[in-house]
């Protein structure tokens, strides 16, 4: 089996951009944006909010499991996989490690809060109506991680790193060499 990376962080931390760049370093790479898996639901999708419901948690668990199963299929086929998802809950990796096992590379992108907010603003007009909610989510995730640091994760402060430098930092931290 090939390597699988779970790249998490706050909104605008660079998760999707970094995951895509990471998988492109490998001869055979697959990027799985978990938001895309969630949005495959064509009716009955529970929108993300700060009001946590059992329905939302159940749908998140389904999306995580579906993405992890997809990742497992591709890693068994010799592909390196990077899943990207937002930071949610005390143990956001649990749904993924149940399927992918303990060898899953857990990566937390953690730029400074002001950097994430600036990156969000730089996205342009896309999502302007969601910007206040996303800024609130950035603050929430940052506060959560201050209270409960993740010592068993590869935490990458990408505040002053380019995308390629961030990928280099992930590869160095995990000891994975592109092939």
| Domains of the chain, first to last | 4-174 (3.40.50.300)
Q: Are 67 and 37 in contact (CB under 8 A)?
A: yes
pLDDT bin (cut points 50, 70, 90) of residue 54 is confident
Which tops the pLDDT comparison, 126 or 113? 113
In whole angstroms, give the CA distance from residue 161 to residue 159: 6
Residue 155, pLDDT > 60, answer yes
98: β partners: none
Write down the mean pLDDT value for the chain.
Answer: 91
Residue 33, pLDDT > 60, answer yes
In whole angstroms, give the CA distance from residue 135 to residue 118: 10
Residue 52, pLDDT > 80, answer no
70 φ/ψ angles, rounded to the nearest 5 degrees:
-65, -45
Q: How far is CA 178 from CA 23, 85, 86, 144, 166, in A?
A: 9, 22, 25, 33, 15
> Which pLDDT score, from 0 to 100, does residue 45 have?
83
In whole angstroms, give the CA distance from residue 170 to residue 164: 10
Span of 1-10, 87-96, 125-134 with lowest mean pLDDT: 125-134
The residue-averaged pLDDT of 49-72 equals: 88
Each residue of 99-123: pLDDT tens digit?
Answer: 999 999 999 999 999 999 999 888 8
CA dihedral over 141, 62, 27, 179, signed as positive or negative: positive
Q: Are 165 and 108 in contact (CB under 8 A)?
A: no
Joined tokens for residue 55: 């329905």
Question: Please, where are the H alpha helices in the chain?
Answer: 15-23, 34-38, 54-76, 94-100, 113-122, 131-147, 163-174
The residue-averaged pLDDT of 83-108 equals: 90
End-to-end Cα distance, the chain: 13
The reported pTM is 0.92
């Amino acid at each position: 089996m090939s390597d699988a990376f779970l790249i998490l962080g706050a909104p605008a931390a660079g998760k999707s951009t970094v995951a895509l760049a990471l998988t492109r370093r490998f001869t055979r790479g697959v990027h799985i944006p978990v938001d895309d898996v969630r949005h495959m639901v064509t009716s009955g999708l529970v929108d993300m909010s700060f009001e946590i419901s059992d329905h939302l948690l159940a749908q998140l668990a389904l999306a995580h499991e579906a993405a992890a199963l997809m990742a497992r299929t591709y890693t068994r086929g010799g592909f390196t996989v990077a899943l990207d998802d937002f930071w949610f809950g005390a143990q956001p990796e649990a749904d993924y490690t149940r399927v992918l096992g303990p060898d899953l590379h857990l990566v937390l992108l953690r730029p400074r809060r002001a950097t994430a907010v600036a990156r969000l603003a730089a996205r342009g007009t896309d999502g302007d109506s969601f910007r206040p909610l996303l800024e609130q989510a950035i603050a929430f995730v940052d506060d959560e991680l201050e209270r409960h640091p993740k010592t068993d994760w590869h935490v990458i402060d990408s505040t002053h790193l380019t995308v390629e430098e961030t990928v280099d930092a992930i590869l160095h931290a995990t000891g994975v060499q592109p092939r």
